Amino acid sequence: MIERVKVAVVGVGNNTSALVQGLALYRQSGSLVGIRRPMIDGLGVGDIGVVAAFATSAEKIGRDLTEAIFLAPNNFPRLDCDLPRAGVPVTKGLVDATGVPRVAAALAGAEVLLYSAPSGRPETARAYAEAAHHAGVAFINTTSDPVARDPHLLGRFEAAGLPLLGDDLASQFGTSVLHNTLLRLLQERGLTLVSSYQVNLGGTEDFRNLVDNPNTKKQSKLNALSEGHPAADQPAADRPAAGTVEVAPLGYLPHLRSQKVAHLNIEAQGWGETAVSLDVKLTVHDPSGAAGVNIDLVRIAASALRDGRGGYSAEVTSLLKSPPGTAV
Amino acid sequence: MIERVKVAVVGVGNNTSALVQGLALYRQSGSLVGIRRPMIDGLGVGDIGVVAAFATSAEKIGRDLTEAIFLAPNNFPRLDCDLPRAGVPVTKGLVDATGVPRVAAALAGAEVLLYSAPSGRPETARAYAEAAHHAGVAFINTTSDPVARDPHLLGRFEAAGLPLLGDDLASQFGTSVLHNTLLRLLQERGLTLVSSYQVNLGGTEDFRNLVDNPNTKKQSKLNALSEGHPAADQPAADRPAAGTVEVAPLGYLPHLRSQKVAHLNIEAQGWGETAVSLDVKLTVHDPSGAAGVNIDLVRIAASALRDGRGGYSAEVTSLLKSPPGTAV
Amino acid sequence: MIERVKVAVVGVGNNTSALVQGLALYRQSGSLVGIRRPMIDGLGVGDIGVVAAFATSAEKIGRDLTEAIFLAPNNFPRLDCDLPRAGVPVTKGLVDATGVPRVAAALAGAEVLLYSAPSGRPETARAYAEAAHHAGVAFINTTSDPVARDPHLLGRFEAAGLPLLGDDLASQFGTSVLHNTLLRLLQERGLTLVSSYQVNLGGTEDFRNLVDNPNTKKQSKLNALSEGHPAADQPAADRPAAGTVEVAPLGYLPHLRSQKVAHLNIEAQGWGETAVSLDVKLTVHDPSGAAGVNIDLVRIAASALRDGRGGYSAEVTSLLKSPPGTAV
Amino acid sequence: MIERVKVAVVGVGNNTSALVQGLALYRQSGSLVGIRRPMIDGLGVGDIGVVAAFATSAEKIGRDLTEAIFLAPNNFPRLDCDLPRAGVPVTKGLVDATGVPRVAAALAGAEVLLYSAPSGRPETARAYAEAAHHAGVAFINTTSDPVARDPHLLGRFEAAGLPLLGDDLASQFGTSVLHNTLLRLLQERGLTLVSSYQVNLGGTEDFRNLVDNPNTKKQSKLNALSEGHPAADQPAADRPAAGTVEVAPLGYLPHLRSQKVAHLNIEAQGWGETAVSLDVKLTVHDPSGAAGVNIDLVRIAASALRDGRGGYSAEVTSLLKSPPGTAV
């Protein structure tokens, strides 16, 4: 029988809530609903267990992980399953590099460190990566901060036989992949794009933060629509023209909680220059989209670690927005 | 300079209106808007010319083609271009096989016969195919009546070095391809389909006829969503489950004229069995979708004829719903 | 303290399920969510109790009402509340007038008979009305069959001091009232209607029946949009033109269960003849819409009975599609 | 025969373009499409003529009004009508009070001054009002700057027999009136509001300005939804609860030009606390919505002037967001 993968997580936000609750739900039900890959290298979803968790919020530190995931500002829903106490108290996380030895010690026994904190703190991300390296643990960076894109750091993980996967998680199902797919379909069918927009509304802390600093995300969205993943493997000529696609400001609407709502419109022309029009509304839980990819990253990292394959693994490129080699 | 392809059309309905007007528009403007393939074997859109037209409506017979396309019940809009008289009077079409010699004589000088009459009259379709064979003209069947799927007839065209392309035109952009693409995207991302529906509304004679005989079309839609084109090249395991996708009755709404409006809904589940929901409204002119594919079929047929390649051409399979070898 | 109103129901379908479960939910929670009128003549929602139920389905007869409401083809969801056994076994209902004495006897102790069977059986509806008259019980007809519109019958109820309320329940919130409100708003603001459509999709037996016999319902919808309730109190000049509003065929989509989904579109013109466009999707549980009105009809009937006011009560006109005086 | 009303306009933006073009269109066609009130006090739409126009843009000054309305950043479409030269050159507008005598002189012969410049310059608005007062001309303030709400100024217009109408134009058909109507309908039917949002997208300079200063507009929207016009005449208890309605940030999407697109969502509960859901997309030309109200304000002002009724007229309250007596 396969040994359960021991995962430590940094960040006890909505994404961790979705991961921890989903693990419980699938273990109890045996369901495969919503799971992209039931088995990866012999590891099922139920073969993953969280053994440590780090956070900086005073309210969360010391609480059992299964309680801490429901504390504000988290607002991912309580899934319909039993959630037995994890026996994993939330540990005080890193603030700067001075805490690295302490965190490395706390990682004893873990195989994978999943870095799932908010983006925008590159020094913290790298300090955790150092701790993982020190403790001989694989590291996954789901934030847009450059970690796997740092060739020096990647080289050190590779040399140590430790997997380093990142950066910037691509959601299992989100606005970009949907918008991209529709624009590409129109193009394949020979329609000419006239204009297109997307509006994204949500109620999480992530949305609140992005509303305060909108430009980065908007540019990132436009990149994703024009030349980013998952289209980056297509020749440039086949990609939709970026100039005609507009991304409206994000809307932070607290009542949506962890749901994201996106409105998309595409106006195009077909034969005879006649109008073709598409209006789409998408509703999805963002944290589920993250957890549904994290469960794959964790299994790929664990499998690589057990096999002694250090560094980056090309297998995860489609799961990331900014893999090694893309712009920092 | 390439010689213009001489096309005869059977049926002076909306689809022929879209084709004839589109040819004029593109020739005048040089625009490539809405054109899927600017050049096919050296033939541009402007290299196609209609030299004969057959219809059965007393009002249309004898009128110049450029007038007949605007007569009721046609309701495709007048495009924004000049439409000089074609000098092509609409000829009385076939009713039964006795007219074959007359039609064959009228095809003298034509290279391609585009059969674009309503579906549901297989004897008429085959009589026109006989006339084309007799006259040494390539034949394209855009209806669902079996013509290219008749192995004996196909063999005779092949032997004579005459192209025979069909059956059943797949629209350049319609509900099926959109619905299929979205269902497939969900599946690729690992979401589990809960339920889905589509409703199609339109104002053409085609819609009126289909409303009177809904079952055929509904089944055909379900086929298209489960295993038909353009997904037939995918392994069965990758196709969406047909049982959960429902197609509501077509609605004939005269005020929509040649526009089709489709409402699609998809309910799915992602990680943690959380809900993912998609609502789509598509607005498109069905006759444009037909003309945008006919323009490719005509050029492929002409090129094959000029090259002496008779019979079916695998190149057109993606443009058809029922190519040779599929069920009659 | 007020005495609880004793209600007998005919028909143990989705509407009765919604009523019975809703009564339990509100009694337990004290909630007023979704209740239009918390108190009517001193009667709260919790002051209503079901004491008898009639049905014709062999599976339902003899079962406790709280079990029978969940039997197929019923598909209204199980609400989130405890549902203690009612102690009310479902009684064999009337087939023809010979059963009237038996039903009248079974009504002993009841104050109101709520006729909530499917529409289309006028003889049955009147036989139950006779039984109610015989037993000295108020009668409510929620079907489109003419009962309260029968002046002779109404006169007899009036003479006996027994309330008779009907016919044809107007839903608490449905497509007609929404479409009507939007058309009226456009008109008030001086916009000119170009065209409009509605499509209704649902998964109940009602929908299945209406799909088999679509014309009646479609005409009734158009009536409602042009001159029916709730707009009948407006001068004809203020009503939207019926000719430009189209109702697409109903779609029976079993997976929707008791949900109704309606898609509405309105195209209009404002100043300078510029386009104004509205697209609406409505999702609602039809049986809730019925129960939310039945709870008011029952209280009004009970109050009138207790006060000795027989016959029709003008107070309920806004709750009905075909009150006395409208066409049979 | 009635004498044509002589109107001077301040601001040569989209709203003035819609007004000027609409006047030409209706005069030529005799159409009443999209006109709320064909006649006001004997004045038809065609009885209005623009005799002077003021602007501050160097490009517009000196150009004929019928040319100036198409200069950037104006992006209201060219309507489908002839637009003969007006013979009205755009005059240099006011910057501060020193220009009042010059403008007053330029108003000689005018009856109404329609102030249709961007909001946010209260001193300029009042300087134009002074010029109108000086010249004996009625004044209409369509901006949110307080003019008619200034009791002293209003008193002086009243004493002089000059109409003063304002402030802040309510669109003929916009998001607020639609959202309000839907929320009120739900309430009337006894549904309980759970949550609601609106998102507004547009491509005009107004939108660009509002995106730069979003809070004012958002608050104003919330006011309109909770207690502002057009609902201010309803008792407070009948108004929707403001707390549950959220207005997302405006999105400036240049490709929309003068179209506004609004997405509305309403989640509510009916009987049994079951879900009711409404999704709406509205597309409308904002400048048409302004011109469709301005045409009424101008006729009411002219009629009052001709009758010697100075000051405010209660008749216009429903056309304004901030009439006299509301908060400045």
- D269 to chain C, any CB pair closer than 8 A? The answer is yes
Mean pLDDT confidence for B120-148: 97
Spell out where D4-45 has E strands: 5-10, 39-40, 43-44
Mutation target vs B (from C253, C260, C267, C278; most B CBs, 10 A cutoff): C253
> What is the least distance, in Å, from the CA of B64 to any CA of chain A?
21
> What is the least distance, in Å, from the CA of B164 to any CA of chain A?
23
Comparing CB atoms, the residue among D21, D36, D274 nearest residue C288 is: D274
Closest Cα to residue B173, out of A53, A185, D11, D281?
Answer: A185
pLDDT at D218: 58
| pLDDT of A238 above 90 | no
| pLDDT of D95 above 50 | yes
| Host H or E run for residue D55 | strand D48-55
pLDDT at C244: 79
pLDDT at A240: 42
| Contact indicator for D227, D184 with CB cutoff of 8 Å | no
- C272 to chain D, any CB pair closer than 8 A? The answer is yes
Comparing CB atoms, the residue among B244, B250, B255 nearest residue C246 is: B255
* Residues counted in chain B: 328
| Contact indicator for C167, C139 with CB cutoff of 8 Å | no
- B199 to chain C, any CB pair closer than 8 A? The answer is yes
Give dist(CA A227, CA A234) in Å, integer.
8
| pLDDT of C243 above 50 | no
* Confidence tier at A225 by pLDDT (50, 70, 90): low
Comparing CB atoms, the residue among B178, B186, B291 nearest residue A271 is: B291
Q: What is the 3-state secondary structure (H, E, C) of A291-322?
A: HHHHHHHHHHHHHHHHHCCCECCHHHHHHECC
Q: Are the Cβ atoms of D269 and C33 closer than 8 angstroms?
A: yes
Q: Are the Cβ atoms of A279 and B276 closer than 8 angstroms?
A: no
Comparing CB atoms, the residue among B34, B36, B277 nearest residue A272 is: B34
pLDDT at B97: 86
Closest Cα to residue C271, out of D258, D175, D38, D22?
Answer: D22
| Contact indicator for D146, D116 with CB cutoff of 8 Å | no
Q: Are the Cβ atoms of B272 and A31 closer than 8 angstroms?
A: no
HSE (side-chain half, CA atoms, 13 Å) at B225: 26
> What is the least distance, in Å, from the CA of A199 to any CA of chain D?
8
SS3 of residue B165 by DSSP: strand
Closest Cα to residue C302, out of C52, C127, C20, C44?
Answer: C44
Q: What is the pLDDT of residues D31-48, one digit of tens each?
A: 999 999 999 999 999 999
- C280 to chain D, any CB pair closer than 8 A? The answer is yes
Residue type, C129: A
- C177 to chain B, any CB pair closer than 8 A? The answer is no
Q: Are the Cβ atoms of B25 and A177 closer than 8 angstroms?
A: no
Q: Are the Cβ atoms of B269 and A21 closer than 8 angstroms?
A: no
Q: What is the pLDDT of residues D151-177, one digit of tens each?
A: 999 999 999 999 999 999 999 999 999
> What is the least distance, in Å, from the CA of A91 to any CA of chain B?
25
Comparing CB atoms, the residue among A195, A199, A244 nearest residue D199 is: A199
Mean pLDDT confidence for D86-103: 93
pLDDT at B1: 65
Q: Are the Cβ atoms of B253 and C263 closer than 8 angstroms?
A: no
pLDDT at A75: 97
| pLDDT of A312 above 60 | yes
| pLDDT of A228 above 50 | no
Report the side by side order of strands in the sheet with A48-55. Answer: A90-92, A48-55, A5-10, A112-115, A138-141, A164-165
SS3 of residue A264 by DSSP: strand
Q: Which residue of C has its CA nearest to B254?
A: C246
β-pairing, C90-92 with C48-55? parallel
- C37 to chain D, any CB pair closer than 8 A? The answer is yes
Q: What is the pLDDT of residues C54-63, one digit of tens each?
A: 999 999 999 9
Q: What is the pLDDT of residues A177-197, one digit of tens each?
A: 999 999 999 999 999 999 999
Q: Are the Cβ atoms of B278 and A279 closer than 8 angstroms?
A: no
> What is the least distance, in Å, from the CA of D46 to any CA of chain C?
13
What token pair was written down for D327?
Answer: 């908060």
| Contact indicator for A5, A43 with CB cutoff of 8 Å | yes
SS3 of residue A11 by DSSP: coil
pLDDT at D241: 46
Touching B (3+ Cβ pairs <8 A), the chains are A, C
- Per CB-CB distance under 8 Å, the chain B contacts of C251 are 197, 199, 248-249
Q: Are the Cβ atoms of C251 and B254 closer than 8 angstroms?
A: no
- C118 to chain D, any CB pair closer than 8 A? The answer is no
| Host H or E run for residue A241 | none
Residue type, C277: S
Comparing CB atoms, the residue among A197, A253, A256 nearest residue D253 is: A197
Comparing CB atoms, the residue among C190, C283, C289 nearest residue D35 is: C190
- A21 to chain B, any CB pair closer than 8 A? The answer is yes
Q: What is the pLDDT of residues B243-302, one digit of tens each?
A: 479 998 889 999 999 999 999 999 999 999 999 999 999 999 999 999 999 999 999 999
CA C103 to chain centre: 22
Q: What is the pLDDT of residues D109-154, one digit of tens each?
A: 999 999 999 999 999 999 999 999 999 999 999 999 999 999 999 9
> What is the least distance, in Å, from the CA of A16 to any CA of chain B?
12
- D265 to chain A, any CB pair closer than 8 A? The answer is yes
Q: What is the pLDDT of residues B67-76, one digit of tens each?
A: 999 999 999 9
- CA distances B61 to B58, B65, D195, Å, are 5, 9, 61
Q: What is the pLDDT of residues C268-321, one digit of tens each?
A: 999 999 999 999 999 999 999 999 999 999 999 999 999 999 999 999 999 999
SS3 of residue D210 by DSSP: helix
Q: What is the pLDDT of residues D63-74, one digit of tens each?
A: 999 999 999 999
Q: Tell me the Ramachandran region of residue D152: left when phi exceeds 0, alpha when psi lies from -120 to 50, beta otherwise.
A: alpha
- How would you label D124-139 residue by residue, b for 16+ Cβ within 10 Å and e otherwise? bbbbbbbbbbebebbb
- D158 to chain A, any CB pair closer than 8 A? The answer is no
Give dist(CA D128, CA D153) in Å, integer.
12
What token pair was written down for C10?
Answer: 């005919």
Comparing CB atoms, the residue among A271, A282, A291 nearest residue B272 is: A291
HSE (side-chain half, CA atoms, 13 Å) at C175: 28
SS3 of residue C279 by DSSP: strand
**DSSP-assigned beta bridge partners for residue C89:** C64
| pLDDT of D235 above 70 | no
β-pairing, D48-55 with D90-92? parallel
Comparing CB atoms, the residue among A173, A192, A270 nearest residue B276 is: A173
- Per CB-CB distance under 8 Å, the chain A contacts of B288 are 270-272, 274
Q: Are the Cβ atoms of D248 and A199 closer than 8 angstroms?
A: yes
Q: Are the Cβ atoms of C191 and D177 closer than 8 angstroms?
A: no
Q: B57 or C224, which is more confident?
A: B57
CA A127 to chain centre: 19
Q: Are the Cβ atoms of A190 and B291 closer than 8 angstroms?
A: no
- D232 to chain C, any CB pair closer than 8 A? The answer is no
Interface of B with C in 207-226 (CB under 8 A): 211
Query: ipTM value of the model?
Result: 0.92
Give dist(CA A10, CA A56) in Å, integer.
9
| Contact indicator for C40, C313 with CB cutoff of 8 Å | no
- Per CB-CB distance under 8 Å, the chain A contacts of D211 are 249
Comparing CB atoms, the residue among D251, D261, D279 nearest residue A249 is: D251
Q: What is the pLDDT of residues C122-160, one digit of tens each?
A: 999 999 999 999 999 999 999 999 999 999 999 999 999
Closest Cα to residue D287, out of D21, D5, D60?
Answer: D21
> What is the least distance, in Å, from the CA of B66 to any CA of chain C?
29
- CA distances C101 to C13, C50, C105, C138, C171, Å, are 24, 21, 6, 16, 32
Q: Are the Cβ atoms of A272 and B177 closer than 8 angstroms?
A: no
Measured in degrees and rounded to the nearest 5, phi and psi for residue A278 equal -130, 130
Residue type, D152: H
- How would you label A97-121 residue by residue, b for 16+ Cβ within 10 Å and e otherwise? eebbeebbebbeebbbbbbbbebee
| pLDDT of C241 above 60 | no
Q: What is the pLDDT of residues B74-100, one digit of tens each?
A: 999 999 999 999 999 999 999 888 999
- B249 to chain C, any CB pair closer than 8 A? The answer is yes
Interface of A with D in 74-113 (CB under 8 A): none
Q: Are the Cβ atoms of D255 and A261 closer than 8 angstroms?
A: no
pLDDT at A243: 42
Touching D (3+ Cβ pairs <8 A), the chains are A, C
**DSSP-assigned beta bridge partners for residue A260:** A202, A284
Spell out where chain C has E strands: 5-10, 39-40, 43-44, 48-55, 90-92, 112-115, 138-141, 164-165, 192-202, 245-247, 251-252, 259-269, 275-285
**DSSP-assigned beta bridge partners for residue A198:** A247, A264
- D271 to chain C, any CB pair closer than 8 A? The answer is yes
| pLDDT of B224 above 80 | no
Q: Are the Cβ atoms of C190 and D283 closer than 8 angstroms?
A: no
